[in-house]
């Protein structure tokens, strides 16, 4: 083996092609994380707005930045839990519809704005940008509606308890 003075050993990890591939893959991962975060934020638009409003107000009255962040998180979480509980307790379909729309409409608006802004990056046609924005609004609004309605189990009415399933009338049981 001959060693040349001043030569650096070539390894496949430090090559220019490898660095380009790693850079492209990290950009794709970063863009995916950004899209996931935007999607999650758009779905929870109402709790985010209420929490942000409470946090800004608490900062303005002198709680400081850390206290404002804590208040914002607590109020946003309380809004989400209260909305899901109200949806599960409500018996009338109109009330459930209004509570669901209270969460879905701001999410759909946030989804429209987010999709329209992202579509400005790579779509030159205005018509296609608007089409994607409307589809994004429908998808995110529907997801927000599904999250509120499916994660909120229906609450039991007073006096009703869960128990074993009763066989129908005149059904034969194993004991007689």
CA distance 136 to 132: 6
Q: How confident is the model at residue 1 (pLDDT cuts 50, 70, 90)?
A: low
CA distance 68 to 48: 14
Which residue from 85, 9, 83, 6 is spatially nearest to 45, judged by alpha carbons? 83
Say how many C-beta atoms besides its own lie within 10 A of residue 149's C-beta: 16
pLDDT of residue 51: 95
pLDDT of residue 169: 63
Least confident segment among 4-8, 98-102, 127-131: 4-8
pLDDT of residue 66: 95
Cα separations in angstroms, 176 against 163, 164, 165, 166, 171: 21, 18, 18, 15, 10
Q: How confident is the model at residue 19 (pLDDT cuts 50, 70, 90)?
A: confident
- 39-72 pLDDT, tens digit each: 888 889 999 999 999 999 999 999 999 999 999 9
- 138-165 pLDDT, tens digit each: 999 999 988 888 755 555 556 555 556 6
CA distance 127 to 111: 17
Least confident segment among 37-51, 69-83, 84-98, 115-129: 84-98
Average pLDDT of the chain is 84
The alpha carbon of residue 131 and the mean position of all alpha carbons in its chain are separated, in whole angstroms, by: 22
């Amino acid at each position: 083996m001959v060693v040349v003075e001043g030569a650096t050993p070539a390894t496949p990890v430090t090559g220019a092609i490898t660095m380009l591939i790693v850079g492209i893959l990290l950009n794709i991962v970063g863009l995916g994380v950004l899209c996931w975060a935007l999607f999650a934020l758009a779905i929870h638009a109402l709790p985010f707005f209420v929490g942000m409003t409470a946090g800004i107000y608490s900062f303005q009255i002198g709680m400081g930045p850390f206290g404002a962040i804590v208040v914002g998180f607590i109020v946003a979480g309380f809004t989400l839990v209260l909305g899901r509980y109200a949806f599960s307790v409500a018996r009338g379909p109109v009330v459930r519809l209004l509570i669901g729309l209270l969460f879905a409409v701001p999410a759909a608006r946030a989804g429209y704005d987010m999709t329209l802004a992202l579509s400005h990056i790579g779509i030159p046609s205005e018509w296609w940008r608007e089409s994607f924005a409307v589809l994004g609004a429908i998808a995110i609004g529907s997801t927000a509606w599904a999250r509120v309605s499916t994660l909120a189990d229906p609450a039991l009415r007073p006096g009703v308890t869960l128990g074993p399933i009763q066989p129908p009338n005149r059904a034969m049981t194993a004991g007689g």
